[in-house]
Chain A
Amino acid sequence: MKSMISREGTDSRSTRRGSVLIPALLAVLLTSGLCVCYLQLSLSKSRESQVSVDAKSAFYVAEAGLAEAYYGLARGMQGAVASESVPARFGNGVYWVTCEDLGDRVTLRSTGLTRKGRAAVSATLRKGTLSVASLGMYGNQSVDLRKGSRVDAYDSTVGPYESPKVASPGGGSALDARVGCNGSINLAGGSEYSPGATIVGDANPGPSGTVVIGMEAIVTGSTAPATQTTTLPTLHIELPEEEPLEPTAGTPVHLPAGSYAWSKMHLGPNSLVHITGPADVVLDELVLDHGSRLEIDGSLGAVEISVRSYVNMVAGSVFTTLSQGTDRASLLTSASLSVDRDRDGIADPPVTLAATGPFYGLIYAPRAPVVLPASFTVYGSVVADRITLGNNARLHFDRALLNSTVGGTLPEFLCWRVVELPPSRLVDFGFDPLTVLKVNSVVPVAPQDAHYVKGVAPDTSLRTWLAPVTEILW
């Protein structure tokens, strides 16, 4: 038996040919095949979720493009950023923004691409800015119009000021003045001898304020309260340490274009100071005595006078502008405290504007009450803590200041929407845009370097992109 077994065993070993290898191989192949199928299935599911992630990512990249374009507009650029042929890089994607100029508005269109994601959004903005000058006549706490006073408007881009014919409620026109306040607006009534106060335009008090209209007083536009209060920007004026400027009577002082700073500018009787723009004058105190004259010539450039603590232009002095551009002159003051400066026992108000005008420009005194007498006619804007228009005083708001950049610039969003993708091979390809750029030897630009200044035509050409053949679509 043993020999039979051993013989059988020996014979078995020599006759068996190892055919189990084939089924083993088949089993391994089968198992591998199954694994590959499951892997494919799993990968396809992941790809699905990756596509939606990419789409969202592209949306945010497009939004980033819009934000960059808005920032450019706010800095005075055109609004267009980069181009389809040389897009801007943002994270692991790229974008470009086109702009369409519509006069006072602009439509921006931003296209964002990341990996497989594509998105395009559009926004229309009003180029007009919320500048202090665009507020018209604005009092932080109150606005009072005395008998016979009048606020109306004109547009200096169309022509010089012309007095409107007759003001009547509901008789507003396109040339509406703007009177606003965070508190209430009071219009004094008139009598048979004198007319009441008049506003040709809108008078919008604060959210809990009202427009109190006296007898014979008129507001031709809306009197609806504002929905929210307006915060006036704070003025920071550094204290100049220089000596005072006190011109000698009879010797005019001509200040050519440049920057100046004095602790005080005190014009005595019969003295004259003439400032030619562009010029910046920083003072701690500005005092004009009776018979003095301060002239501003902004025809060659804007003149800005900043006064830190005290403005006193007494009756009989002259403060006037020789140019009629309302964005060419501004008087800004951070004065706020009433101090007895002349030692007469009576505290002097921080701002006194009893001079003779006319004045074309902006007067900004966010922390002081301002009283405008009949002698000081303002063409432009006045913004102060409290404003009183004296009997028969006049303020003519220049509607061109609505588009002014004086005092701050911020474009205003009008609308936003998702738009169709633009026709572009870069968009249509479906490849990772960074790969396509690399293949085509195009270096994406940094967003901050991709803005177009005004007057330069943006690149709107469409490049013929070469597809990256080495990329395998899994």
Chain B
Amino acid sequence: MVIARTITAALVLLMPAHAGAGDGAAEILRRLDPQTPGALERASRALAALGPSAMGELFALVSPAAVGPQDELLARSFRLQPKSELHAFLSGFTSVALRPERLKPALLVLREAGSGHELARCLELAGPDVEALQAELVAALTAICARDPAACDRALALACKAQAGEAESLVRGLAEAHSGPAALALARLAEERPQLSNMALSSLLAEAERLPRPLDVDLQGALRDQLAREDHPAAQQLLLLAGRLEDDESVPLLIKRLGGARTEQRENALWSLRRITGLGLGPDASAWSDWFEDELRWWRERAPAVMQLLRAAEAAGQRLALGELGQRYWRRQQVSDELAEYLAQAPSAGARMACGVLARLGRESAIPALQARLEDADREVRESARTALASLTGKKIPSRAVALAGASSGAVPR
């Protein structure tokens, strides 16, 4: 059955375009006005509506360069086809069946419509010398991994066995997917195939800032486990990843490396510690140790009471709590989340302080809570929120919005 489908698909690809369906597709493309809102979406559906039998003709219309918006539109229409027919059609995408000038269009279609099952097909199309088609290959792998979480596990399995060039493409594809499952796959790849660990983790490092937050707990755990190994071949990258991902729980490990014997690891550990905490302490491990012990003690002994004070109705207690929370340099995200929640219902005095502390903590997740206080009745609260927002976003927030809010106490133009 599979062989029959493959042969059918191959024949469809090799045969010249069928006059009727091809004319229909061409007409749709001719009448397309990309400037009209929703036109691309409608055109894509119209192309898909031509039916599975038109896939060959649609594929034939994709130009060899496979770069224009029309080509992307054609490729995207494949996504709307019934899955079984689509898979059958895509199974005909082999380097043997396709002419060399059709490889790029094939990768484009796989990019737009492929699933995890087509990962190996992408690699096969690119061939042994992946460099010629690397950009298209990586784009296809990226899109598939971003779209289909299960594809990330398949990519991991493939990368564990792939040759150097293919492995590199898979790693880049996973890294540029900017998804939690893809990042986890990279972390696991670093563990399972040590020769690729440097590449996998440095690619992950390059894209770390673009990973969706909050981070996957499994990902952080996997990276931390590897960070604990001093002899890890990619120890440098792991140390920097802890900082880029702002993993609070890796601080003890980083402090240990800071006091270690390896100079290059000490510098990376210091960079990450400064990044996670915002503290500007020097390379002295004992200074960091002392600071961390203080923090641990606080979280263990004072944190519950302080959180209770924050949530209580008493203003003096809230002020005390805010003062103590403002002294924290560890677990800044957690503190920021608590304060953002508090800010939503805080009285004016507490809100002013909370805005200042949130600005100091520097977490962008606090932005919505601060934006909400831009409309506060109290002018000083509005000012504090505006200053905090400017600090977090790096942009000047016009005070005119504040003045308007005071005048109308209605909706604020932003």
Contacts and interface: CB of A to CB of B under 8 A. Distances in A.
A169 B265 CA distance: 10
Contacts of B237: 213, 223
Contacts of A169: 198, 233, 235-236, 264
Contacts of A189: 164, 168, 199
B264 A215 contact: no
A223 B163 CA distance: 26
Contacts of B196: 215
A212 B203 CA distance: 6
A191 B196 CA distance: 12
Interface string A206-218: 0010111111110
B164 A190 contact: yes
A191 B270 contact: no
A223 B236 contact: yes
B161 to A, nearest CB: 14
Given A189-B199, A210-B202, A224-B240, A215 B167 contact: yes
A220 to B, nearest CB: 7
A224 B262 CA distance: 14
Given A170-B264, A172-B264, A224-B268, A191 B163 contact: yes
A219 B233 CA distance: 11
Nearest to B265: A170
B199 A214 contact: yes
Contacts of A210: 202, 205-206, 240
A63 interface: no
B199 A224 contact: no
B168 A214 contact: yes
B340 to A, nearest CB: 25
A211 B195 contact: no
A385 interface: no
A191 B264 CA distance: 26
Contacts of A213: 198-199, 202, 234, 237
Nearest to B280: A227
Nearest to A208: B209
B268 to A, nearest CB: 5
Contacts of A344: none
B262 to A, nearest CB: 5
B256 to A, nearest CB: 16
Interface size class of B (residues with CB under 8 A): 20 to 34
B52 interface: no
Contact of A212 (B206, B209, B264): B206
B199 to A, nearest CB: 5
B329 interface: no
B127 interface: no
Contacts of B168: 189, 214-215
Nearest to B270: A224
B116 interface: no
A192 B164 contact: yes
A277 interface: no
A219 B236 contact: yes
B337 interface: no
A222 B167 contact: no
A216 B195 CA distance: 7
B271 interface: yes
Nearest to B236: A223
B307 to A, nearest CB: 34
A217 B196 CA distance: 10
Question: Interface majority SS on A: helix, strand, loop or mixed?
Answer: loop
A191 B236 contact: no
A62 B224 CA distance: 52
B202 A212 contact: yes
Contacts of B167: 215
A189 B130 CA distance: 13
Interface string B152-163: 000000000001
A352 interface: no
A193 B305 CA distance: 63
A380 interface: no
Contacts of B240: 210, 223-225
Interface string B197-239: 0110011011001000000000000000000000001111100
A222 B236 contact: yes
A191 B164 contact: yes
A210 B163 CA distance: 24
Nearest to A194: B164
B239 to A, nearest CB: 8
A221 interface: yes
Nearest to A226: B271
Contact of B267 (A208, A211, A214, A222): A222
B268 A222 contact: yes
A42 B77 CA distance: 96
A224 B205 CA distance: 12
A284 interface: no
Given A169-B233, A223-B268, A225-B271, A191 B202 contact: no
A144 interface: no
A184 interface: yes
A211 B268 contact: no
Which of A170, A208, A216, A220 has the most chain B CB within a 10 Å cutoff?
A: A170
A223 B198 CA distance: 12
Interface in A60-95: none
A225 B270 CA distance: 11
A432 interface: no
Interface centre among B209, B234, B236, B268 (most CB of A within 10 A): B236
Contacts of A285: none
Contacts of B234: 213
Interface string B253-294: 000000000111101101100000000000000000000000
Which 10 pairs between the two chains have the least Cβ-Cβ distance?
Answer: A222-B267, A224-B271, A222-B264, A191-B164, A213-B198, A210-B206, A213-B202, A224-B267, A212-B202, A221-B264
27 contacts: A169-B198, A169-B235, A169-B264, A172-B264, A189-B168, A189-B199, A191-B163, A202-B264, A208-B209, A210-B205, A210-B240, A212-B205, A213-B198, A213-B234, A213-B237, A214-B198, A215-B195, A215-B196, A216-B195, A221-B263, A221-B264, A222-B236, A222-B263, A222-B264, A222-B267, A222-B268, A223-B237
